[in-house]
Amino acid sequence: MTTRPIIPPQQIDAPLTRYSIFLVLTVADDGGSVAAVRSALAGTEDLVKDVSFRAAGAQLSCTVGIGSRVWTRLTGLVQPAELHPFREIAGATHTAVATPGDLLFHIRADRHDVCFELERLLVETLGTATTTVDEVSGFRYFDRRDLLGFVDGTANPIGPDLPDSTVVGDEDPTFAGGSYVLVQKYTHRLAAWQALTTEQQEAIMGRRKADNVELDDVESGQKAHKTLTTITDDDGEHDILRDNMPFGSPGSGEFGTYFIGYSRHLWVIEKMLERMFVGDPPGLHDRLLDFSVAQTGTCYFVPPAAMLAGLDDVGPAPTSSDEAPGPGPALAVPPQDAARGTLGIGSLKIPHPTSTTAGRTPR
Amino acid sequence: MNHLLRDLAPLTSDNWSLVDSEAVDRLSVALGARKLVDFAGPLGWEHSATNLGRVGPAVPAPVDGIVARPRVVLPLAEVRAAFSLERDELESGTRGAADVDLAPLDDAALRLARLENSAVFRGWDAFGMTGVAQASPHAPVPAGADPRRYPVRVAEAVATLKRSGVAGPYGLALDDDAWVAVTGGNDAGGSPLLTHLERILGGPVEWTPGVGSPVVLSLRGGDFLFESGADLAVGYCAHTATTVDLYLQETFSFRVATPEAAIALA
């Protein structure tokens, strides 16, 4: 059997890899930049092929997310049902900050050089149309542990549950096949964490450290991280797909975890954050946050591959001859689409970081 | 073809791209209000009114034993800024001229942005819209003549908002003159006035032509609601042998949910 080296574009459940890069960009406001970004996004698939063909077996994949602020200008479409800028969640003690970010590139591969090469080409193609606001290189740490020493990502859905939990379906037909993605960069107060006993750490996480086995949920009082991030309602348990990565630089005292969650419903991830930061009951926040500080927070919609590749075919202000079904546009645009034919300006409000500056390590 | 009738205009697709991108460039700079308030939509050309969720007083019904009350809605304003371009100029564009004269479009864009900013901050009686500054229950902070005193006045305004329980970040909307004074000046302590103000606000200082007096408002969201029907677009009206008449058009409504989340400087 020959190895097919290329993972389909925008496949959110691409294999868990040894390395990944999380690149967050903002798009300049002028029309020229928006057009340049549109064309670069449509060409992402080709760039991935260019790189992965040279590195067979490296499992290179790239997922692109587009933020609410630029969605309509870039795609000429109405916003997906749940898409909106990251909403800050302020608990009594800790805050999930909202920071700028219009585009997310989630680059995964088994080789760091391959991730690097794709990022280099992407940034080169986008040129001055975008500004990098955050860039994190993550790596797998032993048996998929975070830098706190615990195994991370165990609760991911598998089998038929995976698409059910992560891919938009008939509830939003225009955007069926896409996903919502939310990212946050956390930095750890590692020394304080290591001062705890293993039993204290296990109580906070809700898992045994050595063998990753879940502890029983407590019935009342302070709940474990594992319990707070389990969302259950009348429809059962709502899962999300995580592909978190540790990152760090011991020389400069930086130790972190980059959280990335893909979901069919953005509200599920937001609910998890609310339970962590506000607490359940309110006031009893996730104790993990006493040792992990959210430095960034952004969310995006991951359009299906055909929609992304078709971006180049649809301008923001098409003349009406484009309305006749013809070759080219891969987008299924409903005729009632309200943004069509406009200049696509929409909202110009950008989320502003409040308490912390993105990318800075806490004291 | 939709209501904008763009296909009937004597413009090539390159002409249209030029006109559209020029309009986007001009509008994105001048639409200060959109950088400060919540935006919903666009909901489409057919969308005509904003639901306020309220009913009016009972009205007489033709049958006894019926209670009839009218729903209260806020109509969308349909606003249009017309402009004419020289067909000679547009034709030069098709030959590759880099300096096509689009000044009438630039004027129209600024007029429309001024109108939108004014409606958001100063209200518009004819449409029943109440503006951000109009709605504020706080007594305006006296700004004085000296822009170097702005940091103190803005800090006072922010303090008033905080006392009312309105969280930040905050933004500041400035009209032409005040914006020039702030971006060009310093605070007499060596730091640019703009930097100083942004630090106090935790948010941006926006050029908002049409706002009138400066306004400090919370950007936390949910307080000021701009609803777009048909978002800004360029449409076609008529042409002669030498000119083509186009227009910029949008429909919108604006309402204030939390009057105390803003304060004016007088």
For residue B218, which phi and psi values (nearest 5 degrees)? -80, 140
Interchain contact, B41 vs A338, CB within 8 Å? yes
Tokens found for residue B225? 């609601």
Distance CA B30, CA A139 (A): 44
CB contact under 8 A, A348 and B35: yes
Look up tokens 């930086």; give the residue: A254
The answer to whether residues A23 and A119 touch, using CB atoms and an 8 Å cutoff, is: yes
A348 CB neighbours in chain B (<8 A) are 28, 31, 34-35, 39
Is the separation of the CB atoms in B77 and B252 below 8 Å?
yes
The answer to whether A347 faces chain B, any CB pair under 8 Å, is: yes
**Length of chain B, in residues:** 266
CA distance A147 to A152: 10
Q: Which two tokens stand for residue A256?
A: 């972190």
Helices (H), chain A: 31-42, 44-54, 68-75, 112-126, 161-166, 190-194, 198-205, 225-228, 266-277, 305-309
Query: H or E segment at B180?
Result: helix B176-184
Facing residues of A245 across strands?
A258
Asked if the C-beta of A318 comes within 8 angstroms of chain B's C-beta atoms, the answer is no
Cα-based torsion angle of the residue sequence A49, A55, A56, A59 in order, rounded to the nearest 10 degrees: -70
The 8-class DSSP code of residue B19 comes to H
ipTM rounded to 2 decimals: 0.76
Counting Cβ atoms within 10 Å, is residue B51 exposed (0-12), middle (13-18) or buried (19+)? Answer: exposed
Alpha carbon separation from A256 to A7, A19, A227, A260, A296 (Å, rounded): 28, 15, 22, 13, 12
Instruction: Look at residue A359 in the predicted model and tell me its pLDDT.
Output: 37
d(CA B167, CA B163): 9
Asked if B203 and B221 touch (Cβ cutoff 8 Å), the reply is no
Q: What is the pLDDT of residue B164?
A: 92
pLDDT at A321: 38
Q: Which helix (H) or strand (E) holds B73?
A: strand B71-75
Q: Which pLDDT does position A73 carry in this prediction?
A: 83
Q: Which of A319, A342, A345 sits opposite B16 (nearest CB)?
A: A319
Q: What is the spatial distance between Cα A187 and Cα A216, in angstroms, rounded to a whole number?
A: 28
A264: which residues sit within 8 A by CB, 6+ positions away?
A164, A165, A166, A167, A168, A169, A179, A180
Q: In whole angstroms, what separates CA A84 from the centre of its chain?
A: 14
Give residue A338's pLDDT. Answer: 67
Q: Which of A79, A166, A207 is nearest to B41 (CA)?
A: A79
The residues, any chain, with a CB within 8 Å of residue B55's CB and separated by 6 or more, are B69, B70, B71, B72
**Measured between CB atoms, does A321 come within 8 Å of chain B?**
yes
DSSP state, residue B77: E
pLDDT in tens, chain B (266 residues): 789 999 899 998 889 989 998 999 999 999 999 999 999 888 889 999 999 999 999 999 999 999 999 999 999 999 999 999 999 999 998 898 889 999 999 999 999 999 999 999 999 999 999 999 999 999 999 887 777 788 889 999 999 999 999 988 999 999 988 888 887 776 666 677 888 888 899 989 999 999 988 999 999 988 999 999 999 999 999 999 999 999 999 999 999 999 999 999 98
Strands A245-249 and A241-242 turn out to be unpaired
The reply to whether residue B24 touches residue A87, judged by beta carbons under 8 angstroms, is: no
Tens-binned pLDDT, residue by residue, of chain A (363 aa): 445 556 888 988 888 899 999 999 999 987 788 889 999 999 999 999 899 888 888 899 999 999 998 998 898 888 898 999 999 999 889 999 999 999 999 999 999 999 999 999 999 999 999 999 999 999 999 988 999 999 988 888 888 888 899 999 988 888 999 999 999 999 999 999 999 999 999 999 999 999 989 988 887 888 999 999 999 888 888 999 999 999 999 999 999 999 999 999 999 999 999 999 999 888 899 999 999 999 999 999 999 999 999 888 754 443 333 333 333 333 333 434 667 778 888 888 876 544 333 333 333
Phi, psi for B214 (deg, rounded to 5): -60, 145
CA distance A205 to chain B (A): 32
Contact residues on chain A for B105, CB-CB shorter than 8 A: none
Q: Is residue A134 annotated as a catalytic residue, yes or no?
A: no
Which candidate from A35, A87, A342 shows the least CB-CB separation from B230? A342
Give the active site residue among A102, A146, A152, A239: A152
d(CA B236, CA B229): 19
Of A37, A347, A303, A73, which is closest to residue A180 (Cα–Cα)? A303
How far apart (Å, rounded) are the C-alpha atoms in residues A339 and A345? 9
pLDDT in tens, B234-262: 999 999 999 999 999 999 999 999 999 99
Whole-number pLDDT of residue A125: 94
User: Which residues in chain A are closer than 8 Å to B13, comparing Cβ atoms?
Assistant: 319
For residue A19, the distance in angstroms to the closest alpha carbon of chain B comes to 36
Measured distance CA(A215)–CA(A225) in Å, rounded: 11
Both tokens assigned to B49: 């009114």
